Structure 1
């Protein structure tokens, strides 16, 4: 079982890394309980060390925000020491698996919601503390974006206390103006296609699109076209259960249509340039080679670092509606909150929770705002202060409130790594110069995913 789970997690990355052991290995703790030694330590004022693992600390904006959080919290709580551990995005996920199998994972582990179940089942008794009672006492349940994705089998296993993002479409104002395009008139996928065609031809393109081994090969098409019209790439109704072979949605007629539309934009219209990495499509946009770039709020911070003056020429519109068989479907792009769990091996779960709960406070959220994503507490991210200081990023919040239907995430199931790889293989074949038949490839992918979901 452990070998299979390790294989599942390894499909998330191609780079294997090792991280030094950074967690306690004490007796497992349930929600709301501490052992006698923990209580005595906390009451005595003795220094308590908590370890925190995150995949984003290697990125300068996140490092600045996380360092700021720790400095502010430990100033008010001098008996707490918080150690940060992490690795580059690729190696991070393998490291978590290795540490959990060895029983030396960090006290607090930050992931995306779809990763919770995969790592929780590595140990038969479950890896993470049930935070249900903590959340009920905190009053934060309905204030944190993405918190609904943190419940697995009726237990709250994580808190969405850091930041989140979803996607919109950034555009260069000067390029659209020169082409006579009003960005506000781009309401549907055909409006977008027609706008793209005005920038196509003679080796010119409207947008860069990732095609290769990166997950963007599937996720960009999925977010823009497939999931809005089909309700779910893997499973229908917003990627909800039952997570069974009989409920696999990959080759639904809506997903096949969406794949054909995306392939036509690439191969027939030649409206987008295929690139191997998202950084290439961003560079094209910054250089003024293309007018559009699909991205999240973090792109604003990236642009500031690149050239602050570019911000004067950048606007943002929501993902467009999808019109299919005469019916209009609102965008339901993926939500990307970073959420945090507490290990059952944590010797000081009460202190870990206090820190995580504080991260959702207004004081902490002000610090988090500089990370490039949107702070998770809606009370702050919709405040006048946030809107004034982060007007372009706030556009994403506004889209969520007024343009998008319920945001979704990939299914939070242990098999996600395997089924994602199957879809990536299909995406590579469909969304490239190879232009494999979407119906054939999605039928093959559906069969393979059903095989995975049928295993005991």
Structure 2
């Protein structure tokens, strides 16, 4: 679950240090006016006699990710010798706190890496410079799925440049399916099973008396941000929503009949149909104790390394994420943005465009094996255009959806996860649970507004 922990889990707490950024006299005005000026994007933007130093903060990754960034920074400075980039990798557990402190103290880095769910918090606080004009000038926007750009857009401004994507799909035990005579799902990313088909298969395979379970639909109930990432698509697939498009309220969305239907379907897997369990034995899927699991692209390498006798194509296969009335998958991963206080925003964009452009993404993904966010970069890798990875790539490109873009994402995520827990584990009344979640989310947004007015 390494990739999930980096891609989904948000530690940003709206209010306190970060919310205080919006009260600084020049942060808000910079964010509101910066997109109106067209940047100079020629290679001669930095005059020969000028020397510009950029500071770049990012969460430290594994050795391969760090080496990829090192290579990109070195190649950029070779191309632009008048621009130096001082990169500071910071441990993931400390990253958000240190970044918030730097912003609140008025000394943030020029360039910062952010996880997609946190963009609304930083943009709302006036900590980021809009990148819309830069993208329109030379960012090759057409090379990025619109739904991906929407993930980094807040109040009609793009604030981050995406580098990679992650995605989830349906992993199923091929031998368990064949033993019960269940037709195998299509491998075509455009032809997913419906959730009714998944339920039917799960019922046929389910055998709790012998320790075999039908399906784990959303990686349990552990980490709120992580497991909510798996639950949002079920809501969308069955026609529901979580928040309003502007990220201000859940009323009329989370409490819609379609969302209630999705939550009820999820709960029924555990309590009515009993094809899901609250506790599974260790590694149930590769150990043949779980017929279906919804998991991420990052798990392919993990299964290959840790369970070499559990082979793709022989023991298990992958199918697109199930659908209800529509196909949907959550998108968004780490991306790069520019501080609203940077005095060298044009040069900072030059670096960001270098890293997240077609060639930069090919360099990074070629080393890390991540999924590039650009069409052209993904097309350059044969394995991303073939089964099974093409399922993850095409799902993101065609059916990806932003998680709610809101300054209260952590509170929203916690409330949604608690709602699922209350209904499924606590067997609480669904209307009462959803009403409480709506109240919690809307109060959190009201608190942010009140903080900003102080």
Match of 1:168 in 2: 169
Q: Which runs of 5+ in 1 are unaligned?
A: 1-6, 13-24, 323-328
SS of the counterpart of 2:278?
A: strand
Q: For 1:134 and 1:118, how far apart are their aligned partners in 2?
A: 21
Match of 1:130 in 2: 130
CA RMSD of superposed structures (Å): 3.4
User: Is 1:43 paired with 2:48?
Assistant: yes
Determine which of 391, 398, 401 is the counterpart of 1:408: 401
The alpha carbon displacement at 1:303 in A equals 3.1
How does the TM-score come out when normalised to structure 2?
Answer: 0.78
Match of 1:380 in 2: 377
Alignment of 1:313-328 (within 5 A): 313=314, 314-322=316-324
The alpha carbon displacement at 1:441 in A equals 0.7
Distance 1:428 1:104, change over 3 A: farther
The alpha carbon displacement at 1:135 in A equals 0.9
Match of 1:189 in 2: 195
Match of 1:17 in 2: none
Q: For 2:360 and 2:61, how far apart are their aligned partners in 1?
A: 20
User: Is 1:220 paired with 2:225?
Assistant: no
Match of 1:427 in 2: 420
Residue pair 1:262, 1:431 contacting (<8 A) in 2 also: yes
The alpha carbon displacement at 1:442 in A equals 0.8
Distance 1:334 1:76, change over 3 A: same
The alpha carbon displacement at 1:269 in A equals 2.9
Alignment of 1:40-439 (within 5 A): 43-44=48-49, 46=51, 48-55=52-59, 57-79=60-82, 80-88=84-92, 90-122=93-125, 126-145=126-145, 146-160=148-162, 162-184=163-185, 187-197=193-203, 198-202=205-209, 203-208=211-216, 209-223=219-233, 225-235=234-244, 240-241=245-246, 243-244=248-249, 247-274=251-278, 283-307=283-307, 310-313=311-314, 314-322=316-324, 329-369=325-365, 370-383=367-380, 385=382, 387=384, 391-400=387-396, 405=399, 407-432=400-425, 434-439=426-431
Residue pair 2:171, 2:294 contacting (<8 A) in 1 also: yes
Of the structure 1 ranges 253-262 and 368-377, higher mean CA displacement relative to structure 2 is found in 368-377
Residue pair 2:151, 2:332 contacting (<8 A) in 1 also: no
The alpha carbon displacement at 1:77 in A equals 4.0
Q: Deviations over 1:38-84 (max 9, x none)?
A: x99863374x54333334x3344533433343344344445533413
The alpha carbon displacement at 1:217 in A equals 3.9
Distance 1:33 1:349, change over 3 A: farther
Distance 1:213 1:320, change over 3 A: closer
Residue pair 2:68, 2:363 contacting (<8 A) in 1 also: yes
Of the structure 1 ranges 366-375 and 437-446, higher mean CA displacement relative to structure 2 is found in 366-375
Q: Which runs of 5+ in 2 are unaligned?
A: 1-9, 16-26, 187-191, 450-454
